[in-house]
Chains A and B, each alone.
Chain A
Amino acid sequence: MRDGTIVVAGASLAGLRGAEALRAGGFSGRLVLVGDEPHLPYDRPPLSKHVLTGEIAPERTTLPGVGTLAAEWRLGTPAVGLDRAGRVLLLAGGERLPFDRLLIATGARARPWPEPAAAALAGVHTLRSRDDAAALAAALAARPERVLILGAGFLGCEAASSIRALGLPVTVVDPAPSPLAGALGQVIGGFVAGRMEGAGIDLRTGTEVTRLEGEDGRVRRARLADGGTIPADLVVVALGAVRNTDWLAGSGLDADEGGLSCDRACRALDEAGRPDDAIFAAGDVARFPHPLDGDRPVALEHWGNAVAQAAHAARAMLAGPEAAGPYAEVPAFWSNQFGLTIKSLGLTEGADAVAIVQGDPRSARFLAAYGREGRTVAAVSINAGRWLPAYEGAIREGAPFPPITGGADQPRPKPVPPGLPAPQPA
């Protein structure tokens, strides 16, 4: 396909990189990007890092590539529905955008605090968008007495690190036994917990906030499941993300808050599991069969996946699914927190063993490999990113665990259970 109309729903990282890949692949027709935010595509990773510390102003994060893209923009305009049979995207305000191909890249939003009245209290924040980060940074500038962070996943930990760096008292609560337990397991999570406490974070793992209470419309305290109370005048709710698929209700596509299902060529699947040749998905919104995990459907929240999957979807749109081949990028992400650069390759989910294969946690510079049923499935580096690429081959091939690489300086790695959550029954 070279001309016609391609519409992109969601004007952020995946939408922009997908649109660029379409142009780079020779698409010369009409290209329209629809985004509900009023902003041009911007980069989210800085929002929980240097934007919160005040080093980067939120409006400086616009992504390179927006200026040279030959496209029409519909910003501040959510897509509200999809007429699949008629191949029309319905926009708020009534515009009907006909398309030959549609790329769905509507990403995810922050999971809100479950009790709406408490979620609406002044001082209760989530962090997903540039506007969220600007609001949170402004609230931090007013020097709250204590900041409470709900959730010790990557977002909660990064926010805790940035806010602590401002010299503010920070409490982090998570029901898991350690921070990052869901993504990295308790062994590596326990190492990060030590760094958090060393930085002066009041870390409460193994307990849960059951209620947020306010006075005069402002949050004042949180009640814990174990009966305790934490006074807090600023709360960051970091309880994970919900995929933006509500607007697809009634379209017949297989979509829910866990994602929009698609096949290996990034084609969206209908409720019967049949691919729609005109509709593709990429980025955080996409749930796709991952070859590294026996084709189990996964939905990633990784910057690198948004970029690579959008490019793959663009290839499949232009050249057809066979020519594009299956999407098989090895998942990769990074995080910066508490002076650590954490980088990951592969999928840790379901791993039954972890071993430090290079370096030493005591020097805060090491690499851990994850195994599942004797095969290498993932590797995580802490301040040791240069060692990581050497493990990509072992992960791709599912090499015996622990993997042997030329660089390994631990002659006898000692695998231990990683302390990951029990695998969900399929």
Chain B
Amino acid sequence: MRVVVDLNRCQAYAQCCYAAPERFVLRGDEMLVYDPAPPEAERAAIDRAVLACPVRAIRVEPAAAEGTA
């Protein structure tokens, strides 16, 4: 999968970190570090993170779509 977070919009609410702790980590006061290419097997957790983000900063493209380009 491919993931990008709009870090202008992100307000370090850490909801994504609870939803998918393997792939989103909050470091220091408000620095979000995330995996831009998480494994497809974690799709459900990543989708939960997308939905949990209160400012809708996370964008995902599932692996199924990656193949076409």
A, B bound: yes
A residues adjacent to B (C-beta < 8 A): 40, 43, 45-46, 50, 55-56, 60-69, 71, 73, 303-304, 307, 332-334, 336, 339-341, 343, 364-365, 383, 385-386
Residues on B with C-beta less than 8 A from A63 are 2, 4
Residues on A with C-beta less than 8 A from B31 are 336, 339, 341
**B8 touching A55 by the CB < 8 A rule?**
no
Which 8 A-B pairs rank lowest in CB-CB distance, beginning with the nearest? A64-B61, A67-B65, A60-B37, A64-B2, A383-B29, A67-B66, A339-B28, A332-B8
**B61 touching A60 by the CB < 8 A rule?**
no
**A50 touching B8 by the CB < 8 A rule?**
no
- Residue from B12, B30, B61 within 8 A of A68 (CB atoms): B61
Bound-state CA distance A66–B69 (Å) is 6
- Residue from B11, B37, B59, B68 within 8 A of A67 (CB atoms): B68
**B69 touching A56 by the CB < 8 A rule?**
no
Q: What distance in Å separates the Cβ of B15 from its nearest Cβ neighbour in chain A?
A: 14
Residues on A with C-beta less than 8 A from B42 are none
In the complex formed, the residue of B with least CB distance to A345 is B8
Residues on A with C-beta less than 8 A from B1 are 64
**B4 touching A64 by the CB < 8 A rule?**
yes
Could you write out 29 A-B pairs with CB less than 8 Å apart? A40-B69, A43-B36, A46-B36, A50-B33, A56-B35, A60-B35, A61-B36, A63-B4, A64-B3, A65-B2, A65-B59, A66-B2, A67-B61, A67-B65, A68-B61, A303-B7, A307-B6, A333-B8, A334-B7, A339-B28, A340-B28, A341-B12, A364-B29, A365-B29, A383-B29, A383-B30, A385-B11, A385-B12, A386-B12
**B30 touching A341 by the CB < 8 A rule?**
yes
- Residue from A56, A303, A341, A343 within 8 A of B36 (CB atoms): A56
Residues on B with C-beta less than 8 A from A65 are 2, 59, 61
Bound-state CA distance A56–B11 (Å) is 22
**B8 touching A303 by the CB < 8 A rule?**
yes
Bound-state CA distance A43–B59 (Å) is 13
Bound-state CA distance A62–B36 (Å) is 8
* Highest count of chain A CB atoms <10 Å: which of B7, B33, B65: B7
Bound-state CA distance A61–B7 (Å) is 15
Residues on B with C-beta less than 8 A from A385 are 10-12, 30
Q: What distance in Å separates the Cβ of B26 from its nearest Cβ neighbour in chain A?
A: 10
Q: What distance in Å separates the Cβ of B68 from its nearest Cβ neighbour in chain A?
A: 5
B60 lies within 8 A of chain A by Cβ: yes
* Highest count of chain B CB atoms <10 Å: which of A40, A67, A71: A67
**B29 touching A43 by the CB < 8 A rule?**
no
- Residue from B30, B36, B68 within 8 A of A60 (CB atoms): B36
Residues on A with C-beta less than 8 A from B2 are 62-67
**A334 touching B8 by the CB < 8 A rule?**
yes
- Residue from B10, B33, B65, B69 within 8 A of A55 (CB atoms): B33
In the complex formed, the residue of A with least CB distance to B61 is A64
- Residue from A40, A56, A68, A341 within 8 A of B29 (CB atoms): A341
Residues on B with C-beta less than 8 A from A46 are 36
Q: What distance in Å separates the Cβ of B50 from its nearest Cβ neighbour in chain A?
A: 11
Residues on B with C-beta less than 8 A from A60 are 35-37
Bound-state CA distance A55–B4 (Å) is 16
Q: Given A62-B36, A63-B2, A64-B1, list of 16 further CB < 8 A pairs? A: A43-B36, A60-B37, A61-B36, A61-B37, A62-B37, A64-B2, A67-B65, A67-B67, A303-B7, A304-B6, A304-B8, A339-B29, A341-B28, A343-B8, A383-B29, A385-B10
